């Protein structure tokens, strides 16, 4: 009888050990970090636009510009490379403008790193950001006056300059919002919109 109990106990211990060996060790503490492309209850119940939608929109715009930039006649037929600069941002939603500035900046960064865009255009930092640094680091260097007024850093032919602009709107119906997110490339001189990408998104709370 004793040997039987011993055998049963040993088998139970062995089975438990086998189960423990098959289990995946618990993941480490994420420190509150979440996949940025995963919606959370905070997104669901917030009065602002869903952050996942904003990230997906910035990805879509970046891919669309890279895919279609060579189709723009002003860019394709120009003997010189185009210049892409940050333009205006219009926010007619309850979402902070800083959120849309992040979207536009993300698109801007993707264009800088795109080899396709790089074949046709150069992407430039905003002069209001660079000019003070130029004055701080190179105050006695030669300046350029190509556009007819004094400034610190070089300016470019307005006909070859395209502004990356954003327009964001919201229609509110009770606890529901319908958003229109739009980004464009606009020729600085002619004001002609040469690229437009839109996303319509509906969010219930």
Tell me, yes or no, if the pTM score tops 0.85: no
pLDDT at residue 88 above 90? yes
- Using left for φ > 0, alpha for ψ between -120 and 50, and beta otherwise, residue 202 falls in beta
Q: pLDDT band at residue 146, thresholds of 50, 70 and 90? A: very low
In our burial notation (b when 16+ CB lie closer than 10 A, e otherwise), range 136-166 reads eeeeeeeeeeeeeeeebbebbeeebbbbbbb
Which candidate, 169, 160, 166, places its Cα nearest to that of 73?
160
Give me the pLDDT at residue 44, please: 86
- pLDDT over 90 percentage in the chain: 64
pLDDT digits (tens, 9 = 90+) for 91-138: 999 999 999 999 999 999 999 999 999 999 999 999 888 888 888 888
- Find out whether 65 and 117 touch, Cβ atoms under 8 Å: yes
- With CA atoms as reference, report the closest residue to 161 among 134, 124, 195, 133: 124
Question: Does residue 148 surpass a pLDDT of 70?
Answer: no
- With a CB cutoff of 8 Å and minimum separation 6, the contacts of 26 are none
- Please calculate the CA angle 84-190-162 and round it to the nearest 5 degrees: 5
20 backbone dihedrals φ, ψ, rounded to 5°: -65, -35
Mean pLDDT, residues 38-66 taken together: 94
Nearest C-alpha neighbor of 99 from the set 61, 138, 53: 53
């Amino acid at each position: 009888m004793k040997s039987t109990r011993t055998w049963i106990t040993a088998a139970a211990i062995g089975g438990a050990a086998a189960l423990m060996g098959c289990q995946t060790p618990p993941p480490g503490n994420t420190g509150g970090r979440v996949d940025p492309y995963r919606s959370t209850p905070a997104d669901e119940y917030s009065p602002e636009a869903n952050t996942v939608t904003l990230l997906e929109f910035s990805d879509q715009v970046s891919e669309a510009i890279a895919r279609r930039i060579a189709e723009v006649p002003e860019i394709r037929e120009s003997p010189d490379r185009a210049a892409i600069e940050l333009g205006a941002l219009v926010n007619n939603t309850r979402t902070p403008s800083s959120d849309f500035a992040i979207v536009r900046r993300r698109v801007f960064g993707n264009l800088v790193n795109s080899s396709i865009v790089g074949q046709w255009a150069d992407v430039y930092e905003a002069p209001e950001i660079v000019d003070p640094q130029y004055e701080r680091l190179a105050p006695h260097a030669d300046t350029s006056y190509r556009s007819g007024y004094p400034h610190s850093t070089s300016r470019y032919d307005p006909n070859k300059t395209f502004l990356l602009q954003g327009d964001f709107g919201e229609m509110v119906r009770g606890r529901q919002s319908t958003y229109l997110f739009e980004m464009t490339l606009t020729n600085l001189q002619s004001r002609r919109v040469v690229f437009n990408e839109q996303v319509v998104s509906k969010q219930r709370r």
